[in-house]
Amino acid sequence: MAILLNHVNYIYDEDTAMANAALIDVSLKIPDGQFIGIIGHTGSGKSTLIQHMNGLIAPSSGQIFFNNEDICDRDYNKKNLRARVGLVFQYPEHQLFETDCFKDVCFGPKNLGLSQKDAELRAYTALKQVGLEDEYFYQSPFDLSGGQKRRVAIAGVLAMNPEVLILDEPTAGLDPKGREEILGLISELHRKTGITIILVSHSMEDVADYVERIIVMNRGRVTFDGEPKEVFSHYKELEEMGLAAPQVTYCMQELREAGFDVDTSVTTLLEAKNEILKAFMKC
């Protein structure tokens, strides 16, 4: 079991008049190797939740375990934890700072105490994993396109060799093709290395296409937790939370209402296409 949250509560500004509960009784099991999506409206507690997972925030009450060790323990090695649970923040390219891409990616592993040679090896592998072409390695990260910068920033986290990779809105602000590239890359990474991936997203279509499990946060609580099909079948409740289902799910609902014999639990374009074609083949 990679990460386990046991009745976690978190209150911002506890003991003041501004006290505000951001997480309420959150219990979650994140097994090794899962590809998970977290959705929720702005302010639902998603970001607070993921910051607990690598010990950036300590819970007000409750426990968090990583590989069966309590990370809130005084003696627990937090620095080590942050290498093993990598967190890619929103707009991570704002954190690039070195004079060239390669040095920027070396920064993390060097801080872990690796030798120059090992750090460079890690950086090389990570930049290859995110598909950055060799010709950009020694260019300033600031001369790259938005999508490329973001890939360099993700490589910076991958170079720490994390067992769990958490990404907060990795596609925000990118054009459609850029979104597809980043998500394709993450899914490829999951397939090849088997690391656990946790993807926070506002795009229901993206989440439906890629993840195997969805966790829905609402007002600090886990409201739904299951396979995409199961979670999106609650589309009415999701709408009340400011979320939605993928467009194709609505299409299927409306077709069913119009008397077509189609499966309404569809969440991806391919499934929708096959269902509709099937409806025109029977009789």
Partner 1 sequence: MSKMIQTDKLVFEYIRRDEEGNVEGITRAVDEVDLSVEPGQFIAILGHNGSGKSTLAKHFNALLYPTEGEVHVDGMLTEDEEHLWDIRQEAGMIFQNPDNQIIGQVVEEDVGFGPENMGVPTEEIWERVDESLRAVRMDKYRKASPNHLSGGQKQRVSIAGVIAMHPKCIIMDEPTAMLDPNGRREVIRAARGLNQVEGITIILITHYMEEVVDADKVFVMDRGRVVMEGTPRGIFKRVDELKALRLGVPQVTLLAHELRQAGLPIPDPILTRKELIDALKKLRAEGYML
Closest by alpha carbon to 1, among 22, 19, 28, 26? Answer: 28
Binding segment toward partner 1, per CB under 8 A, in 8-16, 61-69, 190-198, 274-282: 274-282
Q: Which of 11, 24, 174, 185 binds partner 1 (CB under 8 A)?
A: 174
Is residue 44 within 8 Å of 245, Cβ to Cβ? no
Answer for which of 147, 227, 237, 265 binds partner 1 (CB under 8 A) is 147
Taking a C-beta distance cutoff of 8 angstroms, is the pair 251, 272 a contact? Answer: yes
- The residue assigned the tokens 């707009």 is 91
Write down the least CB distance from residue 83 to partner 1, Å. Answer: 29
Q: How far is the CB of 190 from partner 1 (least distance, A)?
A: 23
In the complex, least distance from residue 38 CB atom to partner 1, rounded to whole angstroms:
12
What is the total residue count of the chain?
283
Helices (H) and strands (E) in the chain, counts: 11, 10
Amino acid identity for residue 153 in this structure:
A
Q: How far is the CB of 273 from partner 1 (least distance, A)?
A: 5
Site string for partner 1, 242-261 (x = CB under 8 A): xxx-xxx-xx--xx--x-x-
Residue 90, Cα to own-chain centre: how many angstroms? 10
DSSP 12: E
Residue 68 within binding range of partner 1, rule CB under 8 A: no
Neighbour-count burial of 265, counting CB atoms closer than 10 A to its CB (0-12 exposed, 13-18 middle, 19+ buried): middle
The only residue of 14, 69, 173, 194 in contact with partner 1, by rule CB under 8 A: 173
**Residue 184 engages partner 1 in binding (rule: CB under 8 A):** no
Which of 19, 32, 43, 69: binder of partner 1 (CB under 8 A)?
A: 43
Stretch touching partner 1 by CB under 8 A, among 65-73, 117-125, 215-223, 272-280: 272-280
Give the residue from 20, 26, 22, 19 showing the smallest Cα distance to 3: 26
Which residue lies nearer to partner 1 by CB, 73 or 254? 254
Shortest Å, Cβ 222 to partner 1: 17
Here's the x/- map for partner 1, 185-204, by CB under 8 A: it reads as: -----------------x-x
For 59-77, give the DSSP string.
-SEEEEEETTEETTSTTS-
Where do runs of H (alpha helix) occur along the chain? 46-53, 78-84, 101-111, 116-129, 146-158, 176-193, 204-210, 228-232, 235-240, 247-257, 269-279
The answer to whether residue 41 forms part of the interface with partner 1 (CB under 8 A) is yes
Q: Which of 69, 78, 146, 184 binds partner 1 (CB under 8 A)?
A: 146
Give residues in contact with partner 1 (CB under 8 A). 40-43, 145-147, 172-179, 202, 204-205, 242-244, 246-248, 250-251, 254-255, 258, 260, 269, 272-273, 276-277, 280-281, 283
